């Protein structure tokens, strides 16, 4: 079963809990150290009793210079759990059990509930791995409250209208390490899943210019029949001497530098689905190439 099929199946049954391993959190978070000094971090989809996100920030509390750490989680049919942590006395940074005081909400701890939003409002940076089926809700909430964030979502999330709008407006972009990772399921089994880190925190990779080597020619870069844009199948094949509209694979976002490229069009025009049927095009509202299927594309231009 493919990773994408796994995600669709999980969403369909609302069994979309994929817990992040500490090693993957450490690998990504080391690129954002400067963003945490004197800040309140909130992990609003994380059980503080078991969460690797909470464990990471507890262990790094002094090194990062955090002001406060909050973590909360949803309890289906019960009272949600949260913790308000302000550090410990130990030089090692490892707190005693009596320095970790877990509290309960009146409600179930859903991150959209009024009780949890109260905690959200006082936080500076949100770092979490929400259930994939609720990713849209979380991003909308973070945008509404104008919060800094670093969160995990499925690779399909870049095509969500709400998410793509923020990407195009340079209010959201991908993190440093966006690839298939191994996640821990609620039953403690492991499973590889293709995900992205989504953030509005700056990092070095975002300002890295993509090196372009190939030169444009009409044979290698055909235009779509109903879009004034050329098709590009691989990021490495973006021509160095072409400044018109280009349709590139969605994986381009892992290399998107807003100082080098511009994403053009809205979600309908920017994300392209094209299916070619012999003797009959499925639709003329979607860019098509002759005699082959063109998968999801983003329309971009060079600056």
d(CA 184, CA 187): 8
Residue with tokens 């190939």: 214
CATH number for 151: 3.40.50
pLDDT of residue 225: 74
Any domain includes 276? yes
Q: Which helix (H) or strand (E) holds 268?
A: helix 267-270
CA-CA-CA-CA torsion sign (252, 287, 300, 136):
negative
Shared domain for 242 and 160, answered yes or no, is: no
Shared domain for 236 and 273, answered yes or no, is: yes
Any domain includes 125? yes
- Asked if 232 and 212 touch (Cβ cutoff 8 Å), the reply is no
d(CA 192, CA 266): 32
Residue with tokens 């973070």: 142
Any domain includes 223? no
Any domain includes 261? yes
- Cα 17 to chain centroid, rounded: 15
Q: What total number of domains does the chain contain? A: 2
Q: Residue 151 class from Cβ within 10 Å (0-12 exposed, 13-18 middle, 19+ buried)?
A: buried
Q: What is the pLDDT of residues 37-82, one digit of tens each?
A: 999 999 999 999 999 999 999 999 999 999 999 999 999 999 999 9
139-146: long-range pairs with CB below 8 Å, 24+ = 139/163, 139/166, 139/172, 139/198, 141/111, 141/112, 141/117, 143/171, 145/117, 145/120, 145/121
pLDDT of residue 7: 39
Q: Which of 277, 219, 289 is nearest to 247 (CA)?
A: 289
pLDDT of residue 179: 73
Shared domain for 174 and 246, answered yes or no, is: no
pLDDT of residue 183: 87
Question: What is the average pLDDT score of the chain?
Answer: 87
Neighbours of 103 (CB within 10 A): 12
Shared domain for 76 and 116, answered yes or no, is: yes
Any domain includes 225? no
Looking at 164, 187, 204, the residue that finishes a domain is: 204
Any domain includes 185? yes
Domain extent at residue 296: 230-302
d(CA 128, CA 54): 9
Strands 125-128 and 148-154: parallel
Contacts for 73 with CB less than 8 Å, ≥ 6 apart = 45, 46, 47, 48, 51, 80, 81, 82, 109
Contacts for 122 with CB less than 8 Å, ≥ 6 apart = 40, 70
Any domain includes 219? no
Looking at 169, 204, 239, the residue that finishes a domain is: 204
Shared domain for 117 and 10, answered yes or no, is: yes
Shared domain for 199 and 239, answered yes or no, is: no
Q: How far is CA 182 from CA 18, 101, 112, 258, in A?
A: 9, 30, 27, 30
Question: pLDDT below 50 — which residues of the chain?
Answer: 1-14, 267, 274-279, 281-285
d(CA 301, CA 47): 43
- Asked if 128 and 18 touch (Cβ cutoff 8 Å), the reply is no
pLDDT of residue 182: 85
Shared domain for 35 and 136, answered yes or no, is: yes
pLDDT of residue 283: 47
Any domain includes 224? no
Shared domain for 137 and 77, answered yes or no, is: yes
């Amino acid at each position: 079963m493919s990773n994408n099929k796994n995600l669709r199946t999980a969403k369909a049954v609302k069994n979309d809990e994929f817990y992040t391993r500490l090693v993957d959190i450490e690998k990504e978070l080391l690129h954002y150290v400067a963003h945490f000094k004197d800040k309140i971090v909130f992990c609003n989809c994380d059980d503080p009793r078991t969460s690797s996100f909470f464990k990471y920030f507890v262990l790094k509390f002094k090194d990062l210079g955090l002001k406060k750490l909050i973590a909360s989680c949803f309890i289906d049919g019960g009272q949600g759990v949260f913790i308000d942590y302000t550090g410990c006395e130990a030089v090692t940074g490892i707190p005693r059990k009596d320095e970790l005081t877990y509290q309960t909400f009146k409600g179930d701890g859903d991150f959209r509930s009024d009780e949890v939003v109260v905690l959200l409002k006082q936080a500076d940076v949100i770092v979490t791995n929400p259930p994939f089926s609720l990713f849209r809700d979380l991003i909308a909430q973070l945008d509404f409250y104008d919060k800094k964030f670093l969160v995990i979502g499925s690779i399909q999330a870049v095509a969500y209208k709400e998410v793509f709008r923020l990407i195009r407006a340079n209010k959201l972009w991908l993190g440093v390490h966006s690839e298939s990772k191994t996640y821990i399921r609620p039953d403690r089994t492991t499973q590889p899943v293709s995900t992205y880190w989504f953030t509005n925190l700056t990092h070095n990779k975002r300002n890295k210019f993509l090196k372009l080597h190939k030169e444009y020619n009409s044979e290698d870069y055909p235009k779509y029949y109903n879009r004034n844009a050329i098709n590009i199948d691989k990021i490495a094949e973006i021509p160095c001497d072409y400044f018109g509209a280009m349709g590139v694979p969605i994986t381009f976002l892992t290399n998107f530098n807003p100082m080098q490229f511009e994403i053009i069009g809205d979600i309908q025009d920017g994300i392209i689905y094209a299916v070619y049927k012999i003797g009959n095009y499925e639709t003329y509202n979607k860019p098509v190439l002759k005699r082959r299927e063109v998968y999801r594309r983003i329309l971009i231009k060079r600056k």
